[in-house]
Structure 1
Amino acid sequence: MRMALKIESFYTTLLKNNHNAIIFGVEKKSDFSNISSTGKVFQSNEILLKSLCKLSHFTPNTYNLLSRKSPEKCLYGFTEQNLKQINTFVVDIDTLKYSLQDILLACIDNSIGAPTMVIRTPNGYQVYFVLSKPMKISSNGNFLSLNIAKRIALNLKESLVSVEADRYCNDFGFFRVPKESNIVWLQLGDIYSPEAMITWSEKMDDDKGRSLFTTYIKQMNMNYLESSAFQKILSLTCIQGHKGKLGRNNTIFTIALACYADGLPTTDATKLISKFNNGLKSPLKLTEIQASIRSAYSGRYNGPDKIYIDQILEGYQIDQPYTNWYKFKKVRSERKYSHIHEWESDLITYLESIPLNNTPYITLTQKQICKQIGCQQSTLNALLKKSNKIIKVVTGKGRAAVTKWSTINIIIKYFALKHKEITETKSRYKKYLRNTIITKYSHSSNLPTGIFDVPTNIAINTS
């Protein structure tokens, strides 16, 4: 399939079920400073596709439209609470020190699996994990679906820390528009259901002792502002948001949420935050402080999020763990029921734990598989019918039959490793030729030209 057709198929997959929702776009990165007057609103997938060549950044996740005065110039409703649906999770890697192969292997080894797409930016990469169907966002349960999506986004970023994924990048904001000129990896077969994302994220949370589905709750006898963590945050003076650190707005908003949760009147919160802001080496404008307080006291939030508090403490090297803010759910072994997608996840985890040995396939009987993951034969048969990630190959017949297993991730990892081996072999061969030719012609002025032009890049074709 030609790249242009694959890109069109990507947008069709990304924006499926995108009814009565909008996408924001800008023509250049500098437009971020004043999105309301320079951005564009797209309510039609067809119009967006026609405008791609003019756009530099867009929101791959869609929003509800609140109001607008001029469709060509003004944007309204660009807030997380106004999200309509999540189409994809995007991880930003703000460095070029890692190769595409490094990123793919990190995804396969440490994250949910191979990405749907990777684009190269001037300063790094953006890694897309596209959903097979969108996650709908609503205000029910104090935006429970949004909180779940944000936890999945955080776990994806933390799973790719080995390639320096930006933990503090806006989860559902603007990203570079994928084009033929910047796409370096595109596999439309690697998409993930919301259920698979949730199951994977639950396991990540299990390992870290935190829950995906329960929101952070304040203990009855706790006062946020009197805690040692907030006292240390309030003593900060050198806050300046940049790569790897939350900035002044996020910090002040977190403090405002603590004021709201502690029951402080807005006048007292304004005095406290203004005093904190005046102590900063680069203070914010009063209007920005007031906007943060209004948002914190809007009633959309229960209190400060432990994730952001931890990020502030970590980002500014304050060694103060802030615990006991949330409930734990039962570990997997204590749950009464297990769904098919959980057994699928267990089988994938088991298969991908087996080292590769010159083949991407593992030879095991179905009885051995059932014993390893602890499921019934009927359960295994049911998950094999539904799974599009597990590969089962049977060769031969009767007693001579051999059953081999693999996963899509194992196949991709295998070919990625082979690609790396071939590239390294070519590099060594090129070095050998260079040394040989230079030695042979060191006393000759007739050094052959073009002898070192050995190609080092080959394409991976996993289809």
Structure 2
Amino acid sequence: MDDLQSMFDLVLHDGLMEFKKIGSRASLPKQTIVKRESSHNKKGSIFVTRSKEDLHTSSGVKGYILTSKESVVEDGNQLSHWTPNIFNYGTYTNHRRNYIKGHVETNLQQINTFVVDIDSKKQPYTEILTAALDQSIGAPTLILETPKGFQAYFVLDKPLFISSKNDFRGLKVAKRISENIKRSLAKVLQGVDLSCNDFGFFRIPKEDNVRWFSKEMTFDFGSLIEWSRRQDDGHGRGLFVVQDHKAIHDVTQQEWFQELLAAKHVRGNQGQIGRDNLLFTLALACYSAGKEENETYNLLDELNSSLHASLKHSEVRKIIKSAYKGRFKGAHSTYIQQLLEEWGSGKPITIHSNPNGWHKFKKARKDRKRSHYEEWETDILAYISQQTNISSPVTWATQKQICEEINIPRSTFNEVVRKSSKIMMKTEGKGCKAQTGLTSVAVLLQCALAFNQAHRATYTATIRLMMQEFDNTPAIESLDYIVQTIQKAVIPRVDNLFTLNST
């Protein structure tokens, strides 16, 4: 219970009241002191459900609203899902007060954590740890096991407070960071859900589903912005910037959107742009405007029901899910024009064809003369990952061969390895025939967590080898910290076999 209390405190920060207003088990003096000490912090609400099925009922989300940490701790074991990020308020949609609303992004008070949903158990949670360490922002704060996979929490050291100023610019930046975290993990892990709602419902920590927890592993939002900017840089896009005051931010308020929303006679004959294209185009517009997927479904399901020849509800849901996968950033002007010509009223309508106006594009990496240090580090880590495994965690070659393979200048290679807390290097021999051995914290962590005695022996021998080089100290300390943290993790507990001091 103490561990769960620690998790809830870490994730929720000070976003909820400490104690219930009515029926608290805390003494009155304690309630008074805590209330006085936290009076300067705004308090919000979270939403919870008792089962996954309650998230998708015909009447909406079935659940209730909590406003105190005390309630979260008391009810936790009876709950399945929660919103770990805090909302300004929540309300009920019926008199019985068992259906909830208000869990929309524009109602967010603060973002506490990024969560990645992984719908696969083809890889153990330890691979999620090493993948996040090697390919993403670092080891997660918390990993929960779900019936179909895992959920990884990356908790901020301080919450990001959301404001409507500048068209929710902070929220948009946070969504981009969330997207980049998912994409970085999807490169190396199976089952990463790229379309999962960034700040919606996730599994709640319980005594029987926590597989990893480290209260020290929290993340600075400013550092995440820099990391995300580098990810965008490699894909020819940048973080959100505030658009010119004349720009139209929400395309769903444009005339063309309202015109198509009013169309009732749309069909889908062969060779004719029709219902599917209409719904997909409108769904893309909602996606680019930052609307929740459920909000879009409610809007377009109502439109579909009003059509003279409507689609099945399941088809509408499928179209919206496709639009929200993130492959397209907004509706294309060509399709908008065709739909208006085919099904519009015929009146002239101006189309603002740049739904991505808040993107700032930068040069792609191949077009820049210099790459960022972190990009080179990622390239070296990728090389190590390709050349090694837990049976052979060190790859050996000449530096010339390694640098040619990675396409990196030798001076840059040595500088990156020297500064890195993820890479270890050992050189044997002299001159042009000298052999350079490379390994990484992620590779050795997999050795440490293996239940094969031979792998454990390989781990120990490799550590002894790498400790001969002083420049490897930061990476060895990083590995030591992670292994020691795993030994103290809630579930499962790893045997104390890898104390580095003994080597």
* TM-score (norm. length: structure 1): 0.58
Instruction: Give the 3 Å change call, closer, same or farther, for CA 305–323 of structure 1 in structure 2.
Output: farther
- Deviations 1:249-300 (CA, angstroms, capped at 9, x unpaired): x8644356899xxxxxxxxx99x965996666414899x9xxx9xxxxxxxx
The one of 70, 81, 85 equivalent to 1:61 is 85
Aligned to 1:187: 214
Q: Counterparts of 1:151-170 in structure 2 under 5 Å?
A: 151-161=176-186, 162-170=189-197
Aligned to 1:42: 66
Aligned to 2:116: 91
Instruction: Give the 3 Å change call, closer, same or farther, for CA 305–174 of structure 1 in structure 2.
Output: closer
Secondary structure of 1:131's counterpart equals strand
- Deviations 1:57-76 (CA, angstroms, capped at 9, x unpaired): 11111101165587963533
Aligned to 1:264: none
Instruction: Give the 3 Å change call, closer, same or farther, for CA 258–10 of structure 1 in structure 2.
Output: closer
User: 1:46 is matched by which residue type in structure 2?
Assistant: E
Aligned to 1:414: 444
Deviation at 1:349, TM superposition (A): 5.5
Aligned mates of 2:314, 2:308 — CA distance in 1: 8
Deviation at 1:56, TM superposition (A): 0.9
Secondary structure of 1:141's counterpart equals coil
Are 1:117 and 2:108 an aligned pair? no
Aligned mates of 2:228, 2:327 — CA distance in 1: 18
Aligned to 2:361: 328
Contact 2:120/2:149 (<8 A) preserved: yes
Instruction: Give the 3 Å change call, closer, same or farther, for CA 105–280 of structure 1 in structure 2.
Output: farther
Aligned mates of 2:326, 2:226 — CA distance in 1: 20
Aligned mates of 2:65, 2:145 — CA distance in 1: 25
Secondary structure of 1:14's counterpart equals helix
Instruction: Give the 3 Å change call, closer, same or farther, for CA 334–85 of structure 1 in structure 2.
Output: farther
Instruction: Give the 3 Å change call, closer, same or farther, for CA 179–192 of structure 1 in structure 2.
Output: same
Deviation at 1:417, TM superposition (A): 3.0
Secondary structure of 1:24's counterpart equals strand
* Runs of 5+ consecutive residues of structure 2 not aligned to the other structure: 16-40, 258-267, 290-298, 333-352, 395-410, 425-437, 457-491
Deviation at 1:421, TM superposition (A): 7.2
Aligned mates of 2:56, 2:325 — CA distance in 1: 29
Deviation at 1:123, TM superposition (A): 1.0
The one of 5, 8, 14 equivalent to 1:8 is 5
Aligned mates of 1:36, 1:280 — CA distance in 2: 22
Contact 2:178/2:198 (<8 A) preserved: yes
Aligned mates of 1:128, 1:189 — CA distance in 2: 13
Contact 1:106/1:163 (<8 A) preserved: no
User: 1:309 is matched by which residue type in structure 2?
Assistant: F
Are 1:178 and 2:220 an aligned pair? no
Secondary structure of 2:76's counterpart equals helix
138-147 or 153-162: bigger deviation: 153-162
Aligned mates of 1:23, 1:253 — CA distance in 2: 27
Aligned mates of 1:30, 1:12 — CA distance in 2: 27
Deviation at 1:145, TM superposition (A): 0.8
Aligned mates of 1:347, 1:285 — CA distance in 2: 45
Contact 1:419/1:460 (<8 A) preserved: no
Contact 1:63/1:85 (<8 A) preserved: yes
Contact 1:237/1:279 (<8 A) preserved: no
Deviation at 1:55, TM superposition (A): 0.8
Instruction: Give the 3 Å change call, closer, same or farther, for CA 14–77 of structure 1 in structure 2.
Output: same
Deviation at 1:331, TM superposition (A): 7.6
Instruction: Give the 3 Å change call, closer, same or farther, for CA 196–275 of structure 1 in structure 2.
Output: same
Aligned mates of 2:495, 2:56 — CA distance in 1: 39
Secondary structure of 2:120's counterpart equals coil
- Deviations 1:405-442 (CA, angstroms, capped at 9, x unpaired): x99xx54652223323737869xxxxxxxxxxxxxxxx
Aligned mates of 2:101, 2:53 — CA distance in 1: 18
Deviation at 1:101, TM superposition (A): 2.7
User: 2:445 is matched by which residue type in structure 1?
Assistant: F
- Deviations 1:124-176 (CA, angstroms, capped at 9, x unpaired): 11111111111111111111111111111111111121322011111111111
Contact 2:182/2:194 (<8 A) preserved: yes
Instruction: Give the 3 Å change call, closer, same or farther, for CA 119–238 of structure 1 in structure 2.
Output: farther
Secondary structure of 1:142's counterpart equals coil
Deviation at 1:310, TM superposition (A): 5.3
Aligned to 1:459: 494
* Runs of 5+ consecutive residues of structure 1 not aligned to the other structure: 226-230, 240-247, 260-268, 293-303, 314-321, 336-341, 360-370, 393-405, 427-456
Q: Counterparts of 1:138-149 in structure 2 under 5 Å?
A: 138-149=163-174
Aligned to 2:49: 26
Deviation at 1:236, TM superposition (A): 6.6
Instruction: Give the 3 Å change call, closer, same or farther, for CA 198–96 of structure 1 in structure 2.
Output: same
- Deviations 1:106-135 (CA, angstroms, capped at 9, x unpaired): 222221111111111111111111111111
Contact 1:40/1:71 (<8 A) preserved: no
Aligned mates of 2:202, 2:308 — CA distance in 1: 33
Instruction: Give the 3 Å change call, closer, same or farther, for CA 128–66 of structure 1 in structure 2.
Output: closer
User: 2:7 is matched by which residue type in structure 1?
Assistant: F
User: 1:422 is matched by which residue type in structure 2?
Assistant: N
Deviation at 1:80, TM superposition (A): 0.8
Aligned mates of 1:129, 1:101 — CA distance in 2: 15
Secondary structure of 2:452's counterpart equals helix
Contact 2:381/2:423 (<8 A) preserved: no
Identity of aligned residues (%): 30
Are 1:309 and 2:328 an aligned pair? yes
Deviation at 1:6, TM superposition (A): 2.8
Aligned to 1:196: 223
Aligned to 2:407: none
Aligned mates of 1:151, 1:81 — CA distance in 2: 16
Deviation at 1:43, TM superposition (A): 0.9
Secondary structure of 1:178's counterpart equals coil
Contact 1:256/1:273 (<8 A) preserved: no
User: 2:110 is matched by which residue type in structure 1?
Assistant: Q
Number of residue equivalences? 346
27-36 or 134-143: bigger deviation: 27-36
Contact 2:304/2:311 (<8 A) preserved: no
- Deviations 1:64-96 (CA, angstroms, capped at 9, x unpaired): 116558796353311111011111111111122
